[in-house]
Every structure is written in structure tokens, then in C-alpha cells.
């Protein structure tokens, strides 16, 4: 099986976590950042390539990366290169998600409008008949209500270029309910909804996912791996055909699982829960999507048929319009 030749879908990829090391070193010099030129030093200081104690510690590594997104020219270039790299891996459908307030933080000259305009231009520059790209706007769970509402309204106002909305950052448990009115506004405007949820190893993790599905109407779940501990929540996800955006290496590096072989992806699939394979923050982890396929093939004996099954589910659950997806996907996609 030649991994690189498989047609692929990626639904869970943070734009801020996509970059080429050579580009980062070049940009760093131009904006006065001390980016190591030595590849090993760069990996050690800027990337997460070994498991960290928990997700909170992993998020701190984003400080270096965030500092790079310092101008509209840089944002456009990094977005363009992310799409170009996706094409090189034979991706056919790509959803990139990003947080406007995360990129804007510390960059006083960057408004949400300027940031989004640069992202859209980067996608347009990379446009090709072989790749369909959608954008998802992130609301960070750590924002106060006023900031969260502002970000939500911005995403809704640009619903012509966003396909969905996401809640991200550390799990805040049942506090996710406070976002329900914002999600309803976004849904009424025609946006789809996914959320990071159930990623942390806590007893109530499956119930966090249940709340996201039942009370907020989540169509997809980012990670959500700990539902494997609760057959009732898995049955709920299967009955509603909620797709889980799984990121094996990310879960290992953030110590959500002890190894790739211990990842519960097969448990979810065995219970009929739709899943997709994703890289999460590929460049931050020193990987790409093809790497995820290789480790699943190596450690969990994934076959070509299973990869196709996951990709067909991902294509079907993508938030892009059905006709856009079907133009690039090589097999028929059930309309949702």
C-alpha cells in the first residue's frame, strides 16, 4: 500500500499549526525573532515531538508559533503553503480551522478582518481543481462571554467564507453549555458546528460529549476519544451519526493515550461510530497526515479498505457543500 497515493480527507487541522520549518526560519529573521537555524535545535525548542505531561503544557508551545503570524503577508503565505502541502499528500478535501483572536493577540495591527482576508487570499492563491478547501472559525472556550460573542458574530458575518464554527482549547466540562446561544445563532446563519470535547482523561469526559451532542447539537466531535468508556454515549453518537475527528499522534503527544497502539480508534469503529483521521497541528508535532496513516498501518494494522472507509465517512461529513465535495472525491458521497 502506497500511503501517499491514497485520496484523503482532513477535517481537523489547525491552520496555526501548519508551517514549513524553512519558512519559519526565514520569517523569524525578517521580524526579529530568534528562530534556531539548526534543525535539531528547532525541533527541540519549537516543536512537540515527545509526549508532554498534559494538554495544558502542550498549548504553551503555541506561544512561539503564534508570534510568527505577524502580518497579512505572512498569514497569506502560510495559508497558501498549507494548502500546497495538502495537495502534495493527495488530499482532496481539506478543512482548515483557525482562531481569529489567537492570531490577533499581541499583533496590534492585525484586525479580525485583516486576518481573515489574508487567510482567504491564501486559499484562493492555492486554488486547484483537485482540492476543495473549507474554513472553520474557532471560538476559544477560555474567552470571556463578551469576547466569545464578538468572535462568534465575526464568524457569522463572514459565513460566505466560513463553513463552520468550532469550540476549542482545554475542556471546560459542562460549562460548554454557556456557548449554546452563540452556537444557535451560528446554526441559524447556516454554519455547521463541531467542538473539541472528551479529549482529557477525566471520569466525566463521555458526559461532556453527550452534552455537546444532545444540548448543543454538535455534528462532529474533535477528539472525543474517551467515549469508549461509555457504551451509551457511543450508542448516541452512532444513532445520530456524529463523526469523531481523531488525531492519534496528537493524542499521544498530549498524553491522552499512552501509545498509538493504545488509541481507541478501533473501539469506536467497532461500535459503528463514524471516524476520520487527522493531523491536528501537523507542523507543531513534526508530522503530516501521511504520517498518521503510516503509524495506524504499523501499530494498528489498518488496511487500505479501512482507510477508504474513514475517508468516505470524512468526505460525507465535511461541512463543504455536497456538490463541491463530489467534484473532487473519487467515490459517490451520501448527501447529508
CATH number of the domain to which 240 belongs:
3.20.20.140
Are 138 and 104 contacting, i.e. CB atoms less than 8 angstroms apart? no
Domain that holds residue 110: 9-322
Give 3-state DSSP helix, strand, coil % of the chain, rounded to 5: 50, 15, 35
Distance CA 332, CA 136 (A): 24
Q: Rounded to 10 degrees, what is the CA torsion of 10, 278, 105, 51?
A: -170
Put the strands of the sheet holding 132-140 in their side by side order.
Answer: 8-14, 91-98, 132-140, 164-168, 192-197, 220-223, 243-246, 275-277
CB 122 within 8 A of CB 83: yes
pLDDT(174) > 80: no
Q: Which residue has the cell 497526515?
A: 289
Kindly state whether residue 119 falls inside one of the protein's structural domains: yes
Question: Does any domain span residue 332?
Answer: no
Residue 61: the pLDDT is 73
Question: Which positions are annotated as active-site residues?
Answer: 199
User: Is 55's pLDDT higher than 90?
Assistant: no
Domain count, the chain: 1
* pLDDT tens digits for range 253-302: 988 999 999 999 999 999 999 999 999 999 999 999 999 999 999 999 99
Percent of the chain's residues with pLDDT above 90: 89
Q: Is residue 211 in some structural domain?
A: yes
Asked if residue 328 is part of any domain, the answer here is no
Domain annotation covers residue 263: yes
- Angle at 240 (CA atoms; ends 15, 213), nearest 5 degrees: 60
Cα separations in angstroms, 159 against 11, 169, 178: 18, 22, 22
Helices (H), the chain: 21-31, 39-46, 55-60, 62-68, 72-88, 100-104, 112-125, 145-157, 180-188, 205-214, 231-240, 248-253, 265-270, 289-300, 304-317, 322-328
User: Could you tell me the pLDDT band of residue 169, with boundaries at 50, 70 and 90?
Assistant: confident
Kindly report whether the global pTM for this prediction surpasses the value 0.95: yes
Q: What is the pLDDT of residues 238-259, one digit of tens each?
A: 999 999 999 999 999 988 999 9
Distance from C-alpha of 77 to C-alpha of 81, rounded to nearest angstrom: 6
Whole-angstrom Cα distance, residue 292 to residue 287?
8
In a domain, 301, yes or no: yes
- pLDDT averaged over every residue in the chain: 95
How many other C-beta atoms can be found within 10 angstroms of the C-beta atom of residue 265? 24
Mean pLDDT of 40-62: 80
DSSP-assigned letters across all residues of 257-270? SS-GGG-THHHHHH
132 and 319 Cβ atoms separated by less than 8 Å:
no
Q: Is residue 4 part of a domain?
A: no
Bridging pattern class, strands 220-223 and 192-197:
parallel
According to the model, what pLDDT value does residue 114 have?
Answer: 98
Residue 229 has pLDDT above 80, yes or no: yes
Residue 2 in domain: no
Average pLDDT over residues 69-80: 98
Amino acid at each position: 500500500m502506497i500511503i501517499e497515493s491514497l485520496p484523503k480527507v482532513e477535517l481537523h487541522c489547525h491552520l496555526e499549526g501548519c508551517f514549513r520549518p524553512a519558512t519559519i526560519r526565514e520569517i523569524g529573521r525578517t521580524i526579529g525573532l530568534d528562530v534556531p537555524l539548526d534543525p535539531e535545535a528547532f525541533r527541540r525548542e519549537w516543536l512537540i515531538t515527545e509526549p508532554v505531561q498534559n494538554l495544558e503544557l502542550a498549548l504553551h508551545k503555541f506561544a512561539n508559533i503564534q508570534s510568527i503570524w505577524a502580518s497579512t503577508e505572512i498569514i497569506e503565505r502560510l495559508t497558501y503553503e498549507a494548502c500546497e502541502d495538502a495537495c502534495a499528500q493527495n488530499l482532496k478535501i481539506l478543512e482548515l480551522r483557525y482562531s481569529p483572536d489567537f492570531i490577533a493577540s499581541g499583533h496590534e495591527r492585525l484586525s479580525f478582518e485583516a486576518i481573515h482576508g489574508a487567510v482567504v487570499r491564501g486559499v484562493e492563491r492555492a486554488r486547484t481543481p483537485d482540492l476543495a478547501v473549507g474554513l472553520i472559525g474557532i471560538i476559544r472556550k477560555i474567552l470571556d462571554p463578551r469576547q466569545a460573542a464578538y468572535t462568534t458574530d465575526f464568524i457569522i458575518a463572514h459565513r460566505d467564507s466560513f463553513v463552520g464554527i468550532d469550540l476549542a482549547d482545554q475542556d471546560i466540562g459542562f460549562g460548554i453549555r454557556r456557548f449554546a446561544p452563540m452556537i444557535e445563532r451560528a446554526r441559524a446563519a447556516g454554519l455547521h458546528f463541531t467542538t473539541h470535547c472528551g479529549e482529557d482523561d477525566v471520569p466525566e469526559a463521555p458526559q461532556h460529549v453527550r452534552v455537546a451532542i444532545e444540548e448543543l447539537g454538535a455534528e462532529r466531535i474533535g477528539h472525543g476519544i474517551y467515549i469508549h468508556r461509555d457504551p451509551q454515549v457511543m450508542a448516541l453518537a452512532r444513532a445520530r451519526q456524529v463523526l469523531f475527528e481523531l488525531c492519534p499522534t496528537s493524542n499521544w503527544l498530549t498524553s491522552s493515550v499512552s501509545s498509538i497502539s493504545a488509541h481507541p480508534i478501533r473501539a469506536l469503529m467497532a461500535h459503528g461510530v463514524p471516524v476520520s483521521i487527522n493531523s491536528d497541528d501537523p507542523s507543531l508535532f513534526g508530522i503530516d497526515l501521511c504520517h498518521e496513516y503510516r503509524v495506524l498501518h504499523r501499530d494498528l494494522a489498518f488496511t487500505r479498505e479501512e482507510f477508504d472507509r474513514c475517508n468516505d465517512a470524512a468526505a460525507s461529513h465535511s461541512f463543504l457543500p455536497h456538490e463541491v465535495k463530489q467534484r473532487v472525491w473519487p467515490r459517490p458521497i451520501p448527501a447529508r
